[in-house]
Structure 1
């Protein structure tokens, strides 16, 4: 039996765009750009465009720095335009801002305690892997009362590397005692799915609640669903198919 059936024992989720509505990033990055510009407000539109943000649609391009990158990617893009900072200082400033604002601005895409409780009742270990700073992930987990459901969480600065590298997925496996072929990775961006594939995850599942469309994710995903709300039904379908196949 493969991990599409009963052998699946863990699910590693991306955070923003997957578990949480990430449309608030436009406003957050606008505030961050004003800080990074150091009074050169005329540069802010160019800075936002450089990370893939379209002010007219209030959307990020799939795979863009704003949609999938980490704070170092952000800092490098903005320093090339505005300058005026030491790279590490700007990264610290931005991470502090994100840790303060993101848990307050980004609502869950569904009732996460209900969903996570149902998944835990299936015997699944649950984790979060984000290219956001780890402190922001931790603050979000605490704010929404998810501590009792999450077995692992990591940000780009947790020491496992950033997505699309495999480090966070492999660290999830190490923390839970699972093998890569026992886990599913769920995310709204190709970086999430590339992480899962490079780690050897059994299932890579794309969701459409973030910055990517179906065609952006399909080449990298085993399955694409509308949102994590559909995850239990997908797992049931896969299990039923495996059961029929083995009869």
Structure 2
């Protein structure tokens, strides 16, 4: 577990804002198949375009993974649409964005593979008296559908997507919106995510604790310069918070 200077104690942390994909859900097992299916569907009879479509958003055939910080791993639908418009020979950006968001709102909740029993995890975190939120560069409808599918509605106090009106990561808007909605100062929240965009969002908002996880596209070396701590996955978060409480 990596850590940098400036750790804060749990006595100051009242809320936790989680990224969704790569943090609550295994990124590659979930979004590799989804993005491949969407590319095939959009390519239609031009199946030969699919490898180029996936490569253009960060997929590397030699590793079978998306690169850290790529459009697929950290971007939003606007960036994805802009990357695929030319390859598909289309000019209807707004229509393509709407189509992509429709795919993601349907397939995200259906296909997401959780890194742990999320209902039990969120219930335990809520039992610690923490306010919980989810912030994603995915469409908000996908986040909402996922919350419903995994039975998290009674535990998640706030959720937001790229299209919710608070800007996109790495900007601080989603984290600040969480703070405002739940009445916690930014210094009183932890931001947990699998890529630099998540941590940059938290840093820009003034979050008190930044935690990187390794269930997404990023390696420890990608996250370490920004995170107070880097852990393998969210199941280690309770122990981390306990250790910080002891140190506080």
Coarse TM-score class (shorter-chain normalised) = over 0.9
Deviations 1:45-94 (A, max 9, x none): 11100100123432110000011110111001111322224111001001
Which whole-Å CA distance do the structure 2 matches of 1:55 and 1:89 have between them? 29
TM-score (norm 1): 0.94
Comparing 95-104 and 168-177, the one that deviates more: 95-104
Aligned twin of 1:200: 206
Aligned-residue offset at 1:38: 4.4
Deviation beyond 6 Å, 4+ runs, structure 1: none
Contact 1:12 1:169 in 2 (8 A): yes
Aligned with 1:6 (options 8, 11, 26): 11
Q: How does 1:154-169 map to 2 (within 5 A)?
A: 154-169=160-175
Aligned position for 2:146: 140
Deviation at 1:5, TM superposition (A): 2.9
Instruction: Note the aligned Cα RMSD (angstroms).
Output: 1.2
Matched, 1:18 2:26: no
Q: How does 1:176-215 map to 2 (within 5 A)?
A: 176-215=182-221
The corresponding residue for 1:113 is 119
State the shift of 1:40 in Å: 2.0
Unaligned runs of 5+ in 2: 1-6
Return the offset for 1:39: 2.8
Higher RCO structure (Cα 8 Å, ≥6 apart): 2
**Residue aligned with 1:11, SS:** strand
Match of 1:220 in 2: 226
Q: Which residue of 2 aligns with 1:245?
A: none
Is 1:237 the counterpart of 2:234? The answer is no
Q: Is the Cα–Cα contact under 8 Å of residues 215 and 232 in structure 2 kept in the other structure? A: yes
Shift of 1:123: 1.1
Query: Paired residue for 2:57?
Result: 51
**TM (normalized to structure 2)?**
0.94
Contact 2:8 2:244 in 1 (8 A): no
Counterpart secondary structure, 2:217: coil
CA distance in 2: counterparts of 1:56 and 1:30, whole angstroms: 16
Per mean C-alpha deviation after superposition, the further-off stretch among 18-27 and 223-232 is 18-27
Structure 1 position 234, deviation (Å)? 0.3
CA offsets, 1:114-143, max 9 Å, x none?
Answer: 111121111110000000000000000000
Deviations, residues 97-127 of structure 1 (Å, cap 9, x unaligned) = 1111111111211111211112111111000
